[in-house]
Structure 1
Amino acid sequence: MHIDLPEKRYYKIGEVAKAFQVNASLIRFWEKEFDIIKPKKNAKGNRLFTQEDINNFKLIFNLVKERGFTLDGAKQKLKKNPDSIYDTQEIINRLEAVKAELIKIKNQL
């Protein structure tokens, strides 16, 4: 899944939800369920997500929404062998970028 977010230091919950095409409530729920997501909060209590949080959301989204893991299964997978998941996700991200570039070239022809 290609996430279209501008390069920023912090992202608001609405931006993250829109990028993943989910409700903000799901983002809040995953934040509570998964320890790897730790957004900062401003004085008002609004969540501010870093790029690392976005990458962790990509992993969780891939496991739960795309590969069909249960929440408990995704938690176990992340705890059991997190390095292999990060490597796999990095490969997927690179392949999606190549695919997007090829589609762009195809459309220009």
Structure 2
Amino acid sequence: MENGSKLYYGIKEVADMFAINASKLRYYEKEFPTLQPKKNRSGDRIYTQADIDHLKEILELTNEKGYTLPGAREYLKIKESNQREHAVYINKLKRIKTFMEKMRAGLDKPQPDQEKEPDAD
């Protein structure tokens, strides 16, 4: 399914990949707002690999996992929301990591008052 040689695929090519009609692809575009392939100058739909991957996920949910269309939409909506939330936490953790690395680097440097030899009494 993953063909890295092309950037864009026509609706017929994508329909053939999944053994479905082009009309079903157009229907899914109406049912799933997240599936919006771009159109070229002549108005033909052009699908990217990301569009194809998203369509594959939709078809897996509806055909293999038994989701209804509204159920699949809700599942994808919740999944996207969770991904955004996780991205926020990941960014916070990256900032904390950077701060901690700077703190550690600062601890490794000798401090001005530590460079002096203690006086022998």
User: Please, what TM-score do these two structures have when normalized by structure 2?
Assistant: 0.62
SS at match of 2:30: helix
Distance 1:45 1:64 in 2: 28
Residue of structure 2 aligned with 1:37, choices 35, 38, 51: 35
Q: In 1, Cα distance between the equivalents of 2:50 and 2:17? A: 15
Deviations 1:31-83 (A, max 9, x none): 11112112111121100001110010011011011111100000000011238
Larger relative contact order (Cα-Cα within 8 Å, sequence gap ≥ 6): 1
Does residue 25 (structure 1) correspond to residue 23 (structure 2)? The answer is: yes
State the 1:7 CA deviation: 2.6
Q: Which amino acid aligns with 2:36?
A: K
Structure 2 unaligned residues grouped into runs of 5+: 84-121
| Rg larger for | 2
Q: Percent identity?
A: 45
The residue that corresponds to 2:8 in the other structure is 10
Output the CA distance in 1 between the equivalents of 2:82 and 2:65.
15
Quote how far apart the aligned CAs of 1:84 are: 7.6
Q: From the superposition, tell whether residues 51 and 83 of structure 1 become closer, same or farther in structure 2 (CA, over 3 Å).
A: farther
Q: TM (normalized to structure 1)?
A: 0.69
Asked whether the equivalents of residues 4 and 19 of structure 1 are also in contact (C-alpha less than 8 Å), the reply is no
Q: Would you identify which runs of 4 or more consecutive aligned residues in structure 1 move more than 3 Å?
A: 82-85
- The letter for the 2-side match of 1:73 is G
What residue number does 1:51 align with?
49
Q: In the alignment, is the contact (CA less than 8 A) between 1:5 and 1:19 conserved in 2?
A: no
One-letter code aligned to 2:40: N
One-letter amino acid of the structure 1 residue matched with residue 76 of structure 2: L
Q: CA RMSD in A?
A: 1.9
